[in-house]
């Protein structure tokens, strides 16, 4: 069977371990997909959704806040800042984070806030909110 082994690790947990048909990762310049016999690769990835298609053709989506990925000999290692399934996301908390980040962006010129950090916070909140809404 043509499978690839995936391991996704965060600072607080092992998010996923198993054989898959494919994985799609939010690259810094757009999504990229890894299939069986992919060329060796080492890269960073961005805030977004990691999509896994398992050996039974089930598709699973997870949010991430970015990290690094290594692809070598049909093994993929992702070291992610965060990794959550839709069921793990507290939608109320995600929406509150989004609202807070939007307010900070509005007041950015009045406060000494770092635009890049505020924007990343907003992107994470939007990403989590969108995926959490898919579980309904």
| pLDDT (tens digit per residue) in 93-112 | 888 888 888 887 777 665 66
pTM of the model: 0.80
CATH placement of domain 4-84: 2.60.15.10
Pairing of strands 83-84, 59-72: antiparallel
* Angle made by CA atoms 113, 114, 115, in degrees to the nearest 5: 110
The domain defined by 88-133 folds into: 1.20.5
pLDDT at 109: 65
Q: Give the whole-angstrom CA distance, residue 23 versus residue 70.
A: 12
pLDDT at 112: 61
pLDDT value at 28 more than 60 = yes
Span(s) in the chain for CATH 2.60.15.10: 4-84
Q: Give the whole-angstrom CA distance, residue 100 versus residue 25.
A: 27
Mean pLDDT across the chain, nearest whole number? 89
pLDDT digit string, tens, across residues 45-63: 999 999 999 999 999 999 9
Span(s) in the chain for CATH 1.20.5: 88-133
Per DSSP, the three-state class of 62 is strand
């Amino acid at each position: 069977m043509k499978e690839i082994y995936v391991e996704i690790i965060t600072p607080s947990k092992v998010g996923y371990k198993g054989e898959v048909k494919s994985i799609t990762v939010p690259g810094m310049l757009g999504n990229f997909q890894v299939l069986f016999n992919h060329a060796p690769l080492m890269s960073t990835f961005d805030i977004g959704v990691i999509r896994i298609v398992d050996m039974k053709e089930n598709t699973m989506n997870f949010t991430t806040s970015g990290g690094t990925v290594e692809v070598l000999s049909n093994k993929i290692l992702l070291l992610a800042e965060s990794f959550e399934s839709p069921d793990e996301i507290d939608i109320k908390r995600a929406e509150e984070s989004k609202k807070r980040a939007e307010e900070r962006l509005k007041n950015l010129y009045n406060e000494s806030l770092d635009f890049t950090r505020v924007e990343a916070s907003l992107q994470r909140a939007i990403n989590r909110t969108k995926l959490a809404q898919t579980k309904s």
